[in-house]
Amino acid sequence: MTQWSGYLGLILQGALVTIELTLMGSVLALIMAFLAGMGRVSRFFALRWLATVYIEFFRGTSIFVQLFFAYFVLPLIGLELTPLQAGVLALGLNVGAYAAEVVRGAIQSVGREQYEACIALNLGRWQGMRHVILPQALLIMLPTFGNNAIELLKATSVVSLISLADLTFQAQVVRSQTGNTLVPFTTILIIYFALALIISWGVRSLERRMARGLDGVRV
């Protein structure tokens, strides 16, 4: 029993690393999503082109290759990253590319009358986007953002390939030391599921609060 308590401690340490990766990766993904998503609807061709290149590149290449590139190739040009930094960078950029299309689609789905109302109120393009369009688009984005966050959570398991001690890495350590596969992998399966439920609950709660406050935003 004492031995398994120690192994459970290892897995819980891995859970903390997974949570840290998910939180930091999600922050980076959100930043990139809004930068690229707004870039996709920009009036300026250069911004649209840069946003499209970013989105297509990171959606069109494997997260494994992106992670290995960040950890093994960037140091060759002087950018030394820790396993955690490489994981956050690869996960954030990858998921951010998918989320950018969510931002673009949500902005473009806001009714035309809302854009016309912004013009009638003499709001500038940025003022209208900030005060009228984005608050409505955010409510449309949230459910898919929740899915993106859960996908990022599950994708954190790839960082075990660069020896970052996340949930999957620690489960492999426990399996190699005990010869038992069922217990460690069932345990992390339950932990991943619980973390995904927490993300889903948080997104739904935020969605309900935003929906209640949206009536004062429409013009």
Q: Identify the weakest region by mean pLDDT among 51-65, 133-147, 191-205.
A: 133-147
- The reply to whether 39 falls in a domain is yes
Of residues 91 and 133, more confidence is placed in 91
Angle in degrees, CA 66, 70, 73, rounded to 5: 105
Query: Do residues 175 and 185 lie in contact, with contact meaning Cβ atoms separated by under 8 Å?
Result: yes
The answer, yes or no, to whether residue 177 has pLDDT greater than 80, is: yes
> Which stretches does DSSP call E strand in the chain?
none
The answer, yes or no, to whether residue 22 has pLDDT greater than 80, is: yes
Q: Which domain holds residue 23?
A: 4-211
State how many domains the chain has.
1
Query: Do residues 95 and 150 lie in contact, with contact meaning Cβ atoms separated by under 8 Å?
Result: no
Q: What is the pLDDT of residue 32?
A: 96
Q: What is the DSSP letter of 83?
A: H
The answer, yes or no, to whether residue 122 has pLDDT greater than 80, is: no
- Work out the average pLDDT over 77-90: 94
Q: What is the pLDDT of residue 206?
A: 86
- The reply to whether 204 falls in a domain is yes
- Work out the average pLDDT over 2-19: 84
- The reply to whether 218 falls in a domain is no
Q: Identify the weakest region by mean pLDDT among 10-19, 27-36, 205-214.
A: 205-214
CATH code at 181?
Answer: 1.10.3720.10
Q: How far apart are CA 109 and CA 17, in angstroms?
A: 37
Of residues 21 and 114, more confidence is placed in 21
- The reply to whether 216 falls in a domain is no
**Tens of pLDDT along 51-74?**
999 999 999 999 999 999 999 999
- Work out the average pLDDT over 128-156: 85
- The reply to whether 32 falls in a domain is yes
- The reply to whether 95 falls in a domain is yes
Of residues 48 and 208, more confidence is placed in 48
- The reply to whether 190 falls in a domain is yes
Q: What is the pLDDT of residue 131?
A: 65
Helices 182-212 and 167-178: crossing angle in degrees, nearest 10, is 160
Q: What is the pLDDT of residue 139?
A: 83
Mean pLDDT rounded to a whole number for the chain: 87
- Work out the average pLDDT over 195-216: 83
- The reply to whether 217 falls in a domain is no
